[in-house]
Structure 1
Amino acid sequence: MPNPRDQLLDNLNQQLDQFFGSGGKAQQIPSGVTGDPKLASTPHLDRLRVERNKIAPKVRELAEAGKTISETAKTLHMHVKRVALIASENGFKFNS
């Protein structure tokens, strides 16, 4: 009787050969990045995101005014990490 583990490895190797043989290419995905933003989403996380989206215009306004991330956090009475998350989710940066 063949070893089931060997059968799985043989099958996987055949699939890899088919994929790369037909011109497939491996993708390098950065650490911490998922392909689908809804993959790990829950109603609770969705509500938190909605709350952050309401605050985002104020954060963007302060960032564009030249404030640092810590000054913005202090002004809005928020934690620095939350301000950084809002900035990264909405695609803007702070001055150093």
Structure 2
Amino acid sequence: VAIRNACKALGTYQLDGCEIYTSCEPCPMCLGAIYWARPERIVYAATHQDAAEIAGFDDRFIYEELERPPEARKIPATCLLREEGLEPFKEWRAKPDRDLY
């Protein structure tokens, strides 16, 4: 919500030149949103190890899974119908009024 509000206030999808301050090192989902927003840096207080040890929020397995090939993960992922899947991207790229992210 904070990223969305900041982007709305700045009238952009990216937070170039901005910093994100947070109480804890971002979880994988938050980190994904942060990277999409492209701020200059992240500042946090508690580490993800602190969150795991104190509160039980252990995301380590997600980081480990992301290092594996998609088909070797505990929840395997398979690419299927790639050519058909490329069509919406090609259509978007051809739009002269597309939003660049």
Asked if TM exceeds 0.5, the reply is no
* The structure with more strand, counted as a fraction of residues: 2
Q: TM-score, normalised by structure 1?
A: 0.24
RCO greater where, 1 or 2, for CA within 8 Å and sep 6 or more? 1
* The structure with more helix, counted as a fraction of residues: 1
Q: TM-score, normalised by structure 2?
A: 0.23
When Rg is computed on C-alpha atoms for both structures, the one with the higher figure is: 1
